[in-house]
Amino acid sequence: MEDINRGILLYQSTPGAVLIDLRDAEDYAEGHISGAVSMLPENIREEIAAIAQKDTPIFLYCYGGMRSYQAEALLQARGYLHVSSIGGIDRYDGALEE
């Protein structure tokens, strides 16, 4: 999925979905999409199990889209069934939380 705005609407309408922000803690603190959990790409293997089962719908975003695409492939390889990279926050039109 390439349009983060469409991806956020899908996340919001998916029961039990998890939204993960893959930017660093400083960027997350400056502004993130409502409901997003901060997780660094290098820690996602360990941290994802604490918040999601293999069948949990997972939506990923970062700043420009590359890290979220890489994390999507990694999670799919680890057996997560419903993972979607929704791109970069640099193209997000909505409000951000601090």
CATH of the domain at 74: 3.40.250.10
Q: For the segment 22-34, what is each residue's pLDDT rounded down to a tens digit?
A: 999 999 999 999 9
Residues of the chain with pLDDT under 50: none
Question: How far is 87 from 3, CA to CA, in rounded Å?
Answer: 7
Structural domain for 25, as ranges: 4-91
Residue 43 covered by a domain: yes
Residue of 79, 48, 58, 77 whose CA lies nearest to 1 = 58
**How far from 82 is each of 34, 47, 63, 85, CA to CA, in Å?**
20, 17, 21, 10
Residue 97 covered by a domain: no
Residue 85 covered by a domain: yes
Q: How many domains does the chain have?
A: 1
At residue 54, the pLDDT reads: 97
Given the residues 62, 75, 83, 89, the one annotated as active site: 62
Residue 50 covered by a domain: yes
- 3-class DSSP state for residue 7? helix
Question: How far is 31 from 96, CA to CA, in rounded Å?
Answer: 5
Task: Count, in order, helices (H) and strands (E) of the chain.
Answer: 4, 4
At residue 49, the pLDDT reads: 94
62 is catalytic: yes
pTM of the model: 0.95
Question: How far is 75 from 37, CA to CA, in rounded Å?
Answer: 16
Residue 98 covered by a domain: no
Residue 9 covered by a domain: yes
